[in-house]
Amino acid sequence: MAGRLSFTVGFLIVASVGLLHGACAATTYTVGDDLGWTVPPNSSYYEEWASQRTFQIGDSIFFNSTTGNDHHTATEVATREEYDNCTKNMGKIFDVNAGVQFPLDANATRYFLCSEGTHCVQGQKMIIQVGDGIGAPPSFAAPSLAAATAASALFFSTVVIFFLN
Ligand SMILES: *[C@@H]1O[C@H](CO)[C@@H](O)[C@H](O)[C@H]1NC(C)=O
Ligand SMILES: *[C@@H]1O[C@H](CO)[C@@H](O)[C@H](O)[C@H]1NC(C)=O
Ligand SMILES: *[C@@H]1O[C@H](CO)[C@@H](O)[C@H](O)[C@H]1NC(C)=O
Ligand SMILES: *[C@@H]1O[C@H](CO)[C@@H](O)[C@H](O)[C@H]1NC(C)=O
Ligand SMILES: [Cu+2]
């Protein structure tokens, strides 16, 4: 009887430790930690930062740029080639001076850069491998389409205003 009870209690403890561990597994990483998201001291800074961490589904990355007067963006581009090229005006562009968070919602390899001036060329860029890194981020297509729609809406309203004047 006593043996059975302690077995049950032991099982419950193991089960709740397992649950706690599961609950703690989702982590929000502040990109660059105390440095935040800015022009780094060397061009491999953020790639090193990311390679020292293990990202998994459920985690988030938070871009914070509060120091200095420089303006920064967190731009996600679709391919390694665009990343290597520091391609601008593609993908999702977020003004990060208020901070922006990206949920890592699927195993994928994701490419982020700052599209201000030469910041990307100076190393303000980062590759995030989520899990096994296989596959495209599912959140990529829809928001970039929405951004394209917004851009063309802006273009057409500009054209309309031009003709009205
Ligand atoms: C880049 O800077 C960081 C922080 O100062 C340093 O830890 C790292 O070794 C540097 N990497 C290179 C390649 O110089
Ligand atoms: C961004 O970083 C600064 C400096 O470390 C900190 O004071 C601020 O609270 C952070 N902002 C957010 C929204 O976390
Ligand atoms: C990257 O740059 C190379 C060389 O300038 C160019 O040929 C290529 O089309 C660019 N690719 C992208 C995706 O921007
Ligand atoms: C994501 O990758 C990890 C390996 O890092 C793997 O254990 C897991 O099953 C993968 N999840 C999905 C949904 O593919
Ligand atoms: Cu920047």
Q: What are 41-81's pLDDT values in tens digits?
A: 999 999 999 999 999 999 999 998 866 678 899 999 889 99
Token digits of residue 157:
């309203």
Residues 28-53 have a mean pLDDT of 96
Q: What is the pLDDT of residue 150?
A: 37
Closest approach atom of ligand 4 to CA 57: 1
More confident residue, 165 or 65: 65
Residue 109 C-alpha to ligand 4 middle, in angstroms?
Answer: 12
Q: How far is the CA of 49 from the centre of ligand 1 (A)?
A: 9
Separation of 125 CA from ligand 5 center, angstroms? Answer: 9
- Alpha carbon of 69 to ligand 2 centroid (Å): 15
Q: What is the DSSP string of 129-165?
A: EETT--S--TTTHHHHHHHHHHHHHHHHHHHHHHHH-
Per the CB < 8 A criterion, the answer to whether 56 and 130 are in contact is yes
Q: What is the per-residue pLDDT across 110-129, written as a single tens digit (0 to 9) for each?
A: 999 999 999 999 999 999 99
- Give the residues surrounding ligand 2 with Cβ less than 6 Å away: 34, 36, 64, 66, 99
Closest-CA residue, ligand 1 atom 5, reads 41
How deeply is 126 buried, as exposed, middle or buried, from its count of CB atoms within 10 A (0-12, 13-18, 19+)?
A: buried
Among 72, 83, 71, smallest CA distance to 128 is for 83
